[in-house]
Amino acid sequence: MSGRIDARFKALKEEGRAGLVTFLCAGDPDIPTFETILAGLPQAGADLIEIGMPFSDPMADGPAIQAGNLRALKNGISVARTLEIVRRFRAADPATPIILMGYYNPIHHYGRHGFLDDAKEAGVDGLIIVDLPPEEDEELCLPALERGLNFIRLATPTTDAKRLPAVLANTSGFLYYVSLTGITGVKSAAAGEVGEAVARLRASTDLPIAVGFGIREPEQAAAIARHADAAVVGSALVSELASCLDEEGRPQPGLVEAVLGKVQALAQGVRGARRK
């Protein structure tokens, strides 16, 4: 399979650097503000964009992203509206890869085949569905691959040599290494441990390896970028956004600039990292 994700990682390899993957919840804090941020992410330095599909019970996410989910749901976001946002983004940006991250319940409610068809048509490139294990590949993974959508799987510090082949079997685009056990945004990753883990994973796959969880500052992003093919930052961006809301959850002046400024700083960290 070849698409925008493969093309972007190929370009990054040719540049001799790692990429920055940014995560925000679709529709957070409201749909117009989110779309403004989304449109500015590539210029700010996001190489790939991960969009969370808000769900009322995001069990793998920490407090910051849980709050982002709830804000977005309160403001009327849905799977259908998320796909509309991607469609509008794609009309203006034909190149930046878009990955939807979420849980299976909203997709099942939407209708899995209809969702995959509509996601492909909207310009989505890949999916990360955290609560569908490899044993359930026939449910969504294989139909997604048939439509040319990358299905991106998570590996963790507890993914042992016996489990890894199942994780890798139908994974495409890249492998997402979760550098910490537990939920997002509550601890920081140790670069040395990440380096060892990435080396182990590289022995089993040729896929690019993106590392996320616990990356908050440019220095941390740079440390990860020395080992991995991309650094993924989510909770830090959602927290930056939340810090620019008033007591009613409404965006204050400067919110968009603050979030994109954080992305720019992280991107500079990643781009300045010397690869191991």
Q: Structure tokens of 2?
A: 């070849």
Of 89, 154, 101, 156, nearest to 126 by C-alpha is: 101
Catalytic site positions:
50, 61
Report the distance separating Cα 182 and Cα 157, nearest Å: 10
Question: Which residues, 6 or more positions from 250, have their beta carbon under 8 angstroms from its beta carbon?
Answer: 29, 30
Question: Which residues, 6 or more positions from 162, have their beta carbon under 8 angstroms from its beta carbon?
Answer: none
Which pairing describes strands 48-52 and 154-155: parallel, antiparallel, or unpaired? unpaired
Residue with tokens 């959508």: 149
Report the distance separating Cα 85 and Cα 98, nearest Å: 11
DSSP annotation of 41 reads H
Report the distance separating Cα 150 and Cα 125, nearest Å: 6
Strand order in the sheet with 48-52: 150-151, 126-129, 98-102, 48-52, 19-25, 230-233, 209-212, 175-178, 154-155
Looking at the chain, the number of H-run helices and the number of E-run strands are 12, 9
